[in-house]
Homo-oligomer: A and B are copies of this chain.
């Protein structure tokens, strides 16, 4: 595995890759790699000749009071995991390499970023859209891979790529879960053993949503009310939102009867903020 901390040598390497006629798959990450990331690497491997991974804890997508400084970082472990997965090139730039003095350009996707995570984390998606634009311009992949757990992020980036006429395709890969359903997340390491057990409340709520819609409940507000009650019954959980929205516009839906709905959750377990989501659909529709 080749590793790069600077943009220019990475560009030189990638020029060589493209001159050989090879396709490039790209997985941008913030490190603290887990099975969810590895699933992205493996998917990239099946679709592309060369797999490029970035590890960059992007300061501009963290708000004041968020966990930029405490976000888990373990580069040596990450390098080993990526190398074991036969990642071809790993890019781990410094903050100064990505945001040199004088930097002042921002990419915004205001409508998709106005809701859910964006409404609770002002500036978050501006930071995401900006750093991903930069990374896509540096790597110029054929396909870039994102996890479904951060579904709104995928939508924002997919919109941005199309709006700015970037040439790469954006692929979304299903969420990888622990045996008890907890979605893999680098932030799960923050959880105490007791919190770790409580954290399954997100998956339990998503499963409840699926059961309700399968049993014929068609009113979104009725489903939301039951999910909220389920989450509120967990003493260590503080609910931030339970949203039933259109999976492309992220606008609230009222009836679940007509098609696929995205259930999106944000819950604090102690001081750790977790998100998860699932598609639900009434009997006969395809989720």
Contacts and interface: CB of A to CB of B under 8 A. Distances in A.
A7 interface: yes
A67 interface: no
Nearest to A126: B108
Interface in A135-159: 137-138, 159
Nearest to A138: B165
Nearest to A137: B165
A102 B137 CA distance: 23
Copies of this protein chain in the complex: 2
Contacts of A105: 107-109, 129, 159-160, 163-164
Contact of A133 (B111, B164, B167): B164
Interface in A163-202: 163-167
Interface string A70-108: 000000000000000000000000000000001111111
B129 A163 contact: no
A110 interface: yes
Contacts of A129: 105
B164 A102 contact: no
A108 B167 CA distance: 21
Interface string A36-55: 00000000000000000000
Given A105-B129, A105-B164, A134-B165, 12 more contacts: A104-B109, A104-B112, A104-B163, A105-B107, A105-B160, A105-B163, A106-B110, A107-B164, A133-B164, A134-B164, A137-B166, A137-B167
